[in-house]
Amino acid sequence: MTARDLYLLSPEIALAGVAILVVILDLLVRSKRVVGAVAFLGLAVPIALTVVLWTSIDSETAVFGTLAVDKFALFFKILVLAIVGVLILGSADYVARFQRYQGEFYALVLFSATGMMLLAATTELISIYISLELTALPLAALAAFLRDERSTEAGIKFLLLSAMSSALLLYGMVLVYGFTGSTQLQEIAGAVAQGDMPFGSYALLAGVTLMVVGFGFKIAMVPFQMWVPDVYEGAPTPITTYLSVASKAAGFAVLLRIFYFALPAVSGDWGTLFAVLSALSMTVGNLVAIAQNNIKRMLAYSTIAHAGYILVGVAAFAARSPGPDGVALGPSGVLFYLAAYAATNLAAFFAIMAIASRTGSEQIDDFAGIARRAPWVAAVLAFAMLSLIGIPPTAGFMGKLYLFNAAVRGDLVWLAVVGVISSVVSAYYYLRVVRVLYLGAAPSEEAIPSSWPVRLALALTGGSILAIGLLPGRLLELGEAAVRIFSLTPQ
């Protein structure tokens, strides 16, 4: 490894260094608030290094060609770091209940984020698998962090099903390697292009199918979503939040990179596959969410549906739908939607944490009358619900508009129609939450307090939902700059 490699990897190295510093400080200081402050302020270093790389590098490879440092990878690194920073703020009150284990909590979150950042940049199958495990193993420990019955069950389910999906993914990678003779994505693309049947050969078809199963677990799409409701309900709420946004963003980053760079010659085949999975995810997620009474479980099925919305962009990308300036609408729509969804879900879960900490319940009916006890928190939660539906002027509306436009331009009108109908169906259970907040009879008039970090996190995420909805231009420009590596030239 050269000095240049170290420079290109500096954001990940800095983030891992912050995690190690947090572990050491946790052993030396009595005040755990210091540990949380260092974890939050330390993010300034990897963020600054990532911004420097964005402004100074167009596209470059590192570590013997296994990692790409381009604007696509850097976009996701900034997104993950921003999510972690706001997560530390918004969960400050919740994490205080861990008492002696706050250092371990912050360190595991940071180590997992390091894996996510690497995952967005990997261009070689073995590196992808290692990055995936660096992401998943800390998350399994975090899911069981409460150490009660539900949390332990969530951690065990996540660990076992993650191991199973990783095994299937690894076996799929082995089949792809056996057919192509390489683990480098660009070399795999060359070998696949020589085939004259679907996916090049039956061996490659089996390998790609197994990889879709493996990644399907990570991004929570139907029919590989069986772990999501129980894990989301049982895990600590900050980790549920983290899984729903950061883990999903990293999963889609590596999915786009693999299927574009390794399998562009058969994009018609996997595009059709993802279009069908998208429709299934949107339909199943929204229909089952209607019956949920626990708000975390409801949002678990919601995130399955939103995985389907994001897959609309992946399918449209396979159809090679161009924008007005030639930029691929599919992947740029995916990036825009992931950022908008991150702001929305973070706002929703921060509000839920603030409310549940006082009510002691995550049942939707127990949120009755919260608008009178915590008007600011209730307003942010209600606004997040409107954004998840896709009502203007929210970030969710602009995200869906962009994705459905990409689908129409890619001759996937039927998929856009399914998406619109699914959004209408979702209004039922999202608006139910709003109705309970404002029209339900409050069992108490006692105010719900929150600390200034939580209020700041609510302001940042709620403001982001509105800003992205009203002024989407800057985020669209960043997304389009990030996906210029995806050529629309027919393969």
Digit-coded pLDDT (tens) for 104-114: 889 999 999 99
What residue segments make up the domains of the chain, in order of their start? 267-491
**Percentage of residues in the chain having pLDDT higher than 90:** 33
Average pLDDT over residues 290-310: 91
**Which segments of 42-148 does DSSP mark as H helices, in order?**
44-56, 71-90, 92-95, 102-119, 125-143
Tell me the DSSP string of 103-127: HHHHHHHHHHHHHHHHHTTB-BHHH
Strand, coil or helix: what is 471? coil
Q: Please, which residues have CB within 8 angstroms of residue 318's CB and are 6 or more apart in sequence?
A: 259, 267, 268, 270, 271, 272, 274, 275, 330, 410
Over 60: is that where the pLDDT of 491 sits? no
Q: Distance of CA 67 to CAs 7, 63, 91, 231, 460, Å?
A: 13, 6, 32, 31, 32
What beta strand segments (E) does 177-317 contain? none
Structure letter (DSSP) for residue 62: E
The confidence band for 178, taking pLDDT boundaries of 50, 70 and 90, is confident
Say whether pLDDT at 489 is over 50.
no
Q: What is the pTM of this model?
A: 0.91
Residue 371 Cα distances to 68, 437, 439, angstroms: 47, 6, 9
Is 426:355 a contact under the CB 8 Å cutoff?
A: no
Lowest mean pLDDT among 112-121, 180-189, 340-349: 180-189
pLDDT at res. 205: 81
Q: Which residues contact 24 (CB under 8 A, 6 or more apart)?
A: none
Determine the average pLDDT of the residues in 387-391.
Answer: 91
| Position 159 pLDDT exceeds 70 | yes
pLDDT band at 45 (very low <50, low <70, confident <90, very high): very high
The pLDDT, as a whole number, for residue 374 is 85
**Mean pLDDT for the stretch of residues 36-46:** 91
